[in-house]
Amino acid sequence: MKAVVMAGGEGTRLRPLTSNQPKPMVPIVGKPCMEHIIELLREHGFEEIVVTVAFLPQAIRSYFGDGESLGLRVEYSVEESPLGTAGSVGLAADKLDDTFLVISGDALCDFDLGKLLEFHKKREAAVTIALKSVENPLEFGIVVTDEGGRIERFLEKPSWGQVFSDTINTGVYVIEPEVLRHIPSDCPYDFSKELFPLLLEMGRPLYGLPMEGYWQDIGNLDQYRQANFDALDQRVRLDIPGIRLRGNVWLGEGVELDDLDQVEGPAFVSNYCRVAREATVGAYSVLSASVTRSAKGRSSAGRATSAPTPVCRRESRSATRSRSARRACSCPECACTRTRRSRAARRSTRA
Name the residues annotated as catalytic.
157
> Do 7 and 106 contact (CB within 8 A), yes or no?
yes
Is it true that the peptide bond before 266 is cis, omega within 30 degrees of 0? yes
Q: Is the torsion defined by CA of 130, 131, 136, 142 positive or negative?
A: positive
Write b or e for each residue in 305-336: b if 16 or more Cβ atoms lie within 10 A of its Cβ, otherwise e: eebbbbbbbbeeeeeeeeeebbebeeeebbbb
